[in-house]
Chain A
């Protein structure tokens, strides 16, 4: 589902409800692709006193979440991907799931001539050298259903990662974007098809995009038809 720009709390609430629907078998594995309005999110391992140093009068929402990891920043120009998958169909292994999410990001940036890399002991995707973080990952798994996911920096000012917070708890880390690395403007819409293809390959999913037109395909798609029959 390509949802456009969605406030963080709405997307989080949506994920939790869709996770319930996936766990009941009411809907299949689902992937939300979206952008957020500017927001700082805190993970379960965030050390607020060490990581938050917002300049005075910074108007940005701060949300405590249930995902793993530390603090991060989301904003327009970042592709946010929330796969809601039943891991009983994908290996029942949370570490493997995170590695596969990283692999999906690596494959997503490859068409832009970028070689995404993992760093030993750290979660996320980087470009070298020196290492510059291009995507952050934080997940939550309950009853083998996943929520949260990754945020890939496409074309945004990465200053908030270091000036507002110590993103991911990483002192002295550098953050980058696809646009900065390629030296040209890149849109989220340009990256999205590569993200969908990569997720399909890595998780062996046949992703069917929800039609966005005026009524087009609302009930023609298999998932809708299945729901209508219940």
Chain B
């Protein structure tokens, strides 16, 4: 595998980790809301927003990078 593709793969690993952390917080938030622990649930929901935002920014950065390296079709 080329170094460039490995770098891209690692970038997506980081995105996956952010999404997994968001998922974990969302699951804990659901549990707390179910137990009527509202502020504790909300705190985990806010935490999930942070990870989702980070994942989205990294995904967009990958998209921009991909666009910058793509070549227009000669046709």
Residues of A within 8 A of B (CB): 1-4, 6, 10, 14, 17-18, 20-22, 24, 26-27, 30, 32, 210-215, 218, 223-224, 227, 230
Contact = CB atoms under 8 A, between A and B. Distances in A.
A21 B38 contact: no
Contacts of B48: 17
A21 B53 contact: yes
A211 B38 contact: yes
Contacts, number: 71
Report whether over half of chain B's contact residues are helix, strand or loop; otherwise say mixed.
helix
Interface of B: 21, 25, 28, 36-40, 42-44, 46-51, 53-54, 57
Contacts of A214: 36, 38
Contacts of A18: 43, 46-47, 50
A227 to B, nearest CB: 5
A2 B40 CA distance: 8
15 contacts: A2-B39, A3-B37, A4-B37, A4-B40, A14-B43, A14-B44, A17-B47, A21-B46, A21-B49, A26-B49, A214-B36, A218-B38, A223-B46, A230-B49, A230-B53
Nearest to B37: A4
A24 B54 contact: yes
Contacts of B40: 3-4, 6
